[in-house]
A and B are shown apart, each in its own frame.
Chain A
């Protein structure tokens, strides 16, 4: 708990926030045990986060932070999961097509599109999408289905949930389709220099099979590594910009606001949440590894 061990600052005062009354600071000091040794402080903090879940934000006048994170998490998860599905399939399609039609117009066109995807700022793209779908063309048949900004829970109606998220999904996925598509193409082109692809071709397999079962299959190994990293970070709150543009009150936004307000309990909670997902995705990536790469299975 770096926050508390930092010398020269009073953790209680920091938790209380700016301009807090002296009584509040005193109460916090007692409540969190800041007069006790560090391990005890740590235990108390963990208890507040995970057991009693009553860690309270003082900046926001006594709002409990854990339920807030719990409310924001499904929003972020919905956003990132949907975008991830899009970007996995999108980038595989882009990478495979570009590699199969290497050095043709198809390849060049796709790579230019991917580059555009990579270089477009999410915020700008999001605003553009909003402008187009919410105001400029909202009354045309093309975008009349688009609901207003904000999140609608899945269990209140999956269809509505889906409709509110489609545009955010595409917006968030654009960057990743661009990056992953380009990286995958490079990996595939490299794979075609490899002996095993030559063997596969010498076996008389069709070009599609050589591509999908051999070259792409091997390229999925670095792909999964990359995916795990990005996914974990996004679920942990890095989708902030997309959340803000589309009025989705997800974890990214929560973290951002907590930081603006120097709301230490909230920052703590979101950091814990983010680390949790980074750990979980790492674990999942490790499991996927074992499934897709027999070389790591050990013997």
Chain B
């Protein structure tokens, strides 16, 4: 493969984010690195509060600069986003990077029609007439599967159902054919059937437009279905990174094991109650200096109080002291089935 010759679409190295709060500075993201290749779907999973949204928003420079301190380097198409002047960053936002946010109910400005809002974005980045922008909006709405797009274009957000609104948001994010789509839990607020439709839509769009997608979710089922690669986030760190197959078949991190164990089985009898990871994730204020998962980890030991090392298996890696045979044994104990490490 000529992967090494082509720089990745997005390359995040050592990203750290901290917030100024009433109780001093708290670190929400600690030394996160990842890459996104052209046209791939990278899924970032983790409980809520683990820092997924903060990671994305800092890529786009959408955090409040007065209270947020961002460190590290982010290269997108060879441009260093964190150092980019505001004006240049604005040219990328909405044009090269599209954002689909978590809650379609609140993501659109209530007083404008969806067609107006889509056209606004198109006209910000391209020199086209109002009429042409509106036509494009109709086409986009049709391509995301809104029934009757000619009429829907003049609808206000409150006149659409949640699923339809999310489609409108997706249409807007796609309006300038971005090379990267950033979707922050795009299906969490929707009911199950609509979730499936929206996911299918994202897959279809990746195939048609060739956009890479960062898909944030805490739904492991969604991940298994659509992602090429999976990164697991916990307490502001990426604790495991690998391809979907690797992470699902041979998860390396004890937190990932917990996530796997909590997925309902696709076939066979469903257990009365799914095991879930006990305890709560730490807030950024109380995150331990060592492994953030230690307070909830069955295998925690004194070494875990220091920053855990990165264990690698090819491109598959995890942030944990466990390694080799010991890890395999521990995993067997949790997941109850044999996997070869």
A295 within 8 A of B: yes
**Stretch of B70-78, B105-113, B230-238, B328-336 that contacts chain A:** B105-113
In the complex with contacts A194-B106, A195-B101, A195-B103, A204-B121 CB distance below 8 A: yes
Chain A residues, Cβ within 8 Å of B103: 195
Chain B residues near A196 (CB, 8 Å)?
106-110
Interface string of A171-199 (1 = CB under 8 A from B): 00000000000000000000000111011
Contact of A199 among B66, B90, B99, B159 (CB under 8 A): B99
Give A224 Cβ to nearest chain B Cβ, in Å.
12
A209 CB, nearest partner CB in chain B, Å: 8
Q: Which of A195, A198, A204, A294 is packed against the most chain B CB atoms within 10 Å?
A: A204
B276 sits at the interface (CB 8 A): no
> Pick the contact of A295 from B86, B92, B110, B121 — CB < 8 Å?
B110
Would B99 and A214 count as touching, CB distance under 8 A?
Answer: no
Chain B residue numbers with a CB within 8 Å of A201 are 62, 93
Instruction: Verify if A156 is at the interface (C-beta below 8 Å from B).
Output: no
Q: How far is the CA of A196 from the CA of B156 in the complex (A)?
A: 14
**B60 and A205 within 8 A (CB):** no
List of A residues within 8 angstroms of B125 by Cβ: 204
Let me know if B93 and A199 touch, CB within 8 A: no
Q: Is A244 an interface residue (CB 8 A)?
A: no
B156 touches A294 (CB 8 A): yes
A13 touches B (CB below 8 Å): no
Q: Are A203 and B106 in contact (CB under 8 A)?
A: no
CA distance A253 to B102 in the complex (A): 57
**Nearest-CB distance from B51 to chain A (Å)?**
17
Nearest A-chain residue to B86, judged by Cβ: A207
Kindly count the residue-residue contacts between A and B in the assembled complex, taking CB atoms under 8 Å apart: 79
- Cβ A294 vs Cβ B101 within 8 A: no
B172 at the interface (CB under 8 A from A): yes
Q: Does B95 contact A (CB under 8 A)?
A: yes
Q: Does the CB pair B158–A204 fall under 8 Å?
A: no
B286 contacts A by Cβ under 8 Å? no
Let me know if B120 is at the binding interface, CB within 8 A: yes
- The chain A residue sitting closest to B108, CB to CB, is A196
A202 on interface, CB distance cutoff 8 Å: yes
Instruction: Indicate whether A292 reaches chain B with its CB closer than 8 angstroms.
Output: yes
Number of interface residues of A (CB under 8 A): 26
**Chain B CB within 8 A of A23 CB:** no
- Among residues of B, the one whose C-beta sits closest to the C-beta of A206 is B90
**Structural contact, B124 and A202, CB atoms closer than 8 A:** no
A202 and B93 within 8 A (CB): yes
Cα separation A90 to B279 with both chains bound (whole Å):
53
Task: Return chain B residues, CB-CB under 8 Å to A294.
Answer: 110-111, 156, 158
Q: How far is the CA of A200 from the CA of B169 in the complex (A)?
A: 11
**B94 located at the interface, meaning its Cβ lies under 8 Å from any Cβ of chain A in the complex:** yes
A202:B109 contact, CB within 8 angstroms = no
A200 to chain B, nearest CB (A): 7
Proximity bits, B163-186, A CB within 8 Å = 1, else 0: 000000100100000000000000
Complex: how many Å from CA A47 to CA B66? 65
Q: Which of A194, A203, A214 meets B172, CB within 8 Å?
A: A203
Expressed in whole angstroms, the Cα–Cα distance for A206 and B98 within the complex equals: 16
| Given A202-B60, A203-B120, A204-B93: A218 and B111 interface contact (C-beta under 8 Å) | yes
Q: In the complex, are the beta carbons of A204 and B108 less than 8 A apart?
A: no
Any B CB within 8 A of the CB of A217: yes
Q: For residue B307, which residues in chain A have a CB less than 8 angstroms away from its CB?
A: none
- Neighbouring A residues of B109 by C-beta, 8 Å: 196, 199-200, 214, 217-218
> Once bound together, how far apart are the Cα atoms of A204 and B107, in whole Å?
15
B204 at the A interface (CB under 8 A): no
The answer to whether A199 touches B110, judged by C-beta atoms less than 8 angstroms apart, is: no
Residues of chain B within 8 A (CB-CB) of A213 are 120
CA distance A201 to B60 in the complex (A): 9
Say whether A293 faces chain B, with CB atoms less than 8 Å apart: yes
A contact residues around B172 at 8 Å (CB): 199, 203
**A204 and B92 contact, CB distance less than 8 A:** yes
From residue 44 to 86 of chain B, which have CB atoms closer than 8 A to chain A?
57, 60, 62, 66, 86
For B120, the chain A residues whose CB sits under 8 A away are: 203, 205, 213
B298 at the interface (CB under 8 A from A): no
Query: B312: CB under 8 A from chain A?
Result: no
Ordered by A's residue number, 6 sampled pairs between the chains whose C-beta atoms are within 8 Å are A194-B106, A196-B106, A198-B107, A202-B62, A202-B98, A218-B109
| Residues of A participating in the B interface, judged by any CB pair closer than 8 Å | 102-103, 194-196, 198-207, 209, 213-214, 217-218, 221, 292-295, 299
In the A-B complex, the 7 residue pairs with the closest CB atoms:
A204-B94, A202-B99, A204-B93, A203-B94, A195-B106, A203-B121, A196-B109
20 additional A-B pairs beyond A202-B98, A202-B101, A203-B172, beta carbons within 8 Å, are: A194-B106, A195-B101, A195-B106, A198-B99, A202-B93, A202-B99, A203-B94, A203-B120, A204-B91, A204-B93, A205-B124, A209-B124, A213-B120, A214-B109, A217-B111, A218-B111, A221-B111, A292-B111, A293-B111, A295-B156
